Chain A
């Protein structure tokens, strides 16, 4: 499978008042298309920071990030925004659904960034909600949903524009073990159905079991890769 995303020698340092934290110290990684990668490591290892840089949400102090052959770090805000909108889906530890919008509207929002008509977007949002078994909750506000349901809506939203890559940062971090299992299975199912490239970042070793490559991070470096 061809490489879809790669980063070379990434460095990221935070300067706080008391100290300097070297979060990433030379990370290099290639993701192949339709591959699942699970990045594990203790809390504070730099996993989230790494995910943000890979997905174009944040910029490294040093190093390069390429999507196919495009240099992500050379893009303007508008370009990188459009890139994320079209190619990338995010699932975070917290659902971050917009509280003022219904489930289907939340799923439709990323589509509305492109000039898709509102009715078309809602139509597709309903299809996606059905995909995560929430079609009967489509017109509910996030506050009316359970934690697992909120996370499923967030997954549907991540798939709104048929992205190439899905990034998940501790996707089950806030859920009980049964619900976690459900979300894991859902991610696997959707990955297969859409041929997604999936990158999961977690401190929970349980997630290693969902298959694919496992990478271990420690102190801002990849120490183990299979």
Chain B
């Protein structure tokens, strides 16, 4: 293909230093700067995004099936069987939930009690980041509270707490009986990175919460954890397709919709704003190519005489522009990727681990981002080459080869 052959040679022959060469190099550097900046910034965004998601999902279920009305045993059995057979589900448990007053001595707090299906509660799968834990004789009479709550209530491992639910209180107001209080023992103190969870939730074995919640509220739903949390949406549609009665399904993405939207908008803005660097650099492609077309009038004229069509002349300069963009993109990728790897493995930008929960700026690069960035660089370079290549195609052959 003559177009590619000529374009490549024109690129290569820019070794000699002159004005056009300088501008052309500036454009390559500009494009690479933009590409490198995009790679670094997007990977930092991804890093933070992943960290935020990890923190969000540290103890939260990836998907919750809420019961709008407590289903009977066979219904629950059906749902659990479906979940067990679903490949991407790693674990699930039935849970109950309700507000309760929890106290010890003179201090108390209003917290949400979550009753976790006993098997799960006492297994290693229980996903709370444990701060401390005891082997106690309390058995099923156990409660897990956060470090935050422990400090607030001045409660320690092994202490017995008094717990009563709002439902029980309501009942006592109408029946003038003392509300039913249960007395679980603190066997676990947890500390997650999720402040909402730390400050508002306590956990107990499901069987124990029967005394707290009325029969019709005894089961709130099923919490589901997945092997890959990103597939929660797929599981949701699979469940919806099954039409299990009296269920409502929420994924972690539904719960954190606002935050996720903000994160997505931020990423897109960064992508577009940093693409401006590439756009400005591409302007230099436009000027260096335009000058190159002017200088190469005689070349163009003689090529036309031996049969290169206008279309092919146009192609030559489009390819030259695209190659310039590609060169910049490649260089930028090398720079950006090196910075990314350096941060990933050598923590060139580290954080004070005593103040932050991480010791270095988190970074993560997705292949799709690299593709999008490369595409942007090539697209803008191509766009900048459109004008000069059109000028080249319009060259007047007779003028170009006139001998004066």
A residues adjacent to B (C-beta < 8 A) = 52, 57-58, 77-78, 81-86, 88-90, 92-94, 96, 98-101, 109-110, 112-113, 115, 118, 157-158, 160-161, 170, 173
Q: Does B395 contact A (CB under 8 A)?
A: no
A100→B403 contact, CB < 8 A: no
Q: State whether A100 and B397 are in contact (beta carbons under 8 Å apart), knowing that A78-B311, A90-B306, A113-B308 are contacts in the complex.
A: no
| Residues of chain B contacted by A170 (CB below 8 angstroms) | 403
Q: Across the interface, which residues of B come within 8 angstroms of A86, CB to CB? A: 307
Given A58-B397, A81-B309, A157-B306, 5 further pairs, Cβ under 8 A: A92-B403, A100-B13, A110-B306, A113-B306, A113-B308
Min Cβ gap A197→B in Å is: 17
For this complex, 27 residue pairs linking A to B, each with C-beta atoms less than 8 Å apart, are A57-B304, A58-B397, A81-B308, A81-B310, A82-B309, A84-B305, A84-B307, A85-B306, A85-B308, A89-B306, A90-B305, A90-B306, A94-B401, A96-B299, A96-B301, A96-B302, A98-B6, A99-B299, A100-B10, A100-B13, A101-B9, A110-B307, A112-B2, A113-B307, A115-B1, A118-B5, A161-B307
Q: In the complex, what distance in Å separates the CA atom of A58 from the CA atom of B401?
A: 12
CA distance A136 to B93 in the complex (A): 85
- Docked pose: A69 CA to B72 CA in angstroms: 92
Measured CB to CB, the nearest residue on chain B to A95 is: B302
Interface size of B in residues (CB-CB distance below 8 Å): 26
For the complex, give the distance between the alpha carbons of A92 and B51 in Å: 70
Is A109 in contact with B397, judged by CB distance below 8 angstroms?
no
**A124–chain B nearest beta-carbon distance, Å:** 14
- Contact partner, B306, options A58, A78, A109, Cβ 8 Å: A109
Give CA–CA (A77, B13) in the complex, Å.
29
Interface-central residue, B10, B13, B307, B308, by most chain A CB under 10 Å: B307
Could you say which of A94, A112, A115 contacts B5, with CB atoms under 8 Å apart?
Answer: A112
Question: Roughly how many angstroms separate A14 CA and B312 CA in the complex, as a whole number?
Answer: 29
Known: A57-B398, A112-B1. A160 touches B403 (CB 8 A): no
The reply on B298 being an interface residue by CB < 8 A is yes
Expressed in whole angstroms, the Cα–Cα distance for A157 and B305 within the complex equals 11
Q: Name the 5 nearest CB pairs between A and B, nearest first.
A: A85-B307, A81-B309, A96-B302, A112-B2, A100-B13
Please tell me if B303 contacts chain A, counting CB pairs below 8 Å. yes
